[in-house]
Structures are given as C-alpha cells and as structure tokens.
Amino acid sequence: MKKLTKELKVVVDAIQDKKGRRIRVVDLRKTGYSLTNYMVICEGGTPNQVSAITRSVGDKMRETLREYPLAVDGTRNNLWVAMDYADVIVHIFVPDCREFYDIDNLWEDAAHMDVPDVDAVAPDMVSD
C-alpha cells in the first residue's frame, strides 16, 4: 500500500489533528473475507482524547467528503470507539484496550502501513 485514498487521507489527517498516535492503515481488499476495504487503527492517551479524535474524524468526513458513518459504537466510555464508513472502519483505542484486544494482528496476511506520529513539539523548538 503506497498511497492513501482520499477517504483514508481525511481520516488520518483528522486523527493527527487531535494528536492521535500509532496510526495503522490495514488494506483488507485482498484478504477475501472482510466486510470492509480498509481498517484504520489508532489510539488516544485518555478517554477524553479518544472522544476528541472521534469528533474530529466525524467532522472532517462530513465537511470534506459529505460522508456520515453508518454506525458509531463505544462513545459511552470512549475506551474503544468504532466508526463504520462502509469502505473504511476506524478504531480508536486507549492504549490498554488496544493492547488487550490486539486487533492490529487479526489480519496478518493483509498489507498495512504505519503512519508516523505527529510530534506535539517541533524538534527545533526543544531546548537543552
């Protein structure tokens, strides 16, 4: 997977806008047994950050592509939120839940791309 589709780019940008970390895009098209084409997995450090990422993804998908999720689940506790956009399913975790459920490794035969984290502070702004 060398390039992100327009939809994936919007999702990744929305996650990065809220400093979401450890973003992984999984291409499920060639696995032959998936209900979606792509899965995006990321994490926020706290339930509040998971909530902010969820809102960011929803807002950007609606504003940029006029797309609305078919379903959103997990917003009561914001430990694991799943957003279903048919071709893309977005999973937003707190770190402990992501490690426990380990969905990153469910489709080991699928192509995936890890997106570098956006640092909160630019390297040239860090003082010694």
Reported as a single tens digit per residue, the pLDDT across 22-58 is 999 999 988 877 789 999 999 999 999 999 999 999 9
Are the C-beta atoms of residues 89 and 40 closer than 8 Å to each other? Answer: yes
Q: What predicted TM-score, i.e. pTM, was given to this entire model?
A: 0.88
Please name each of the domains of the chain with its CATH number.
6-103 (3.30.460.10)
Percent of the chain surpassing pLDDT 70: 91
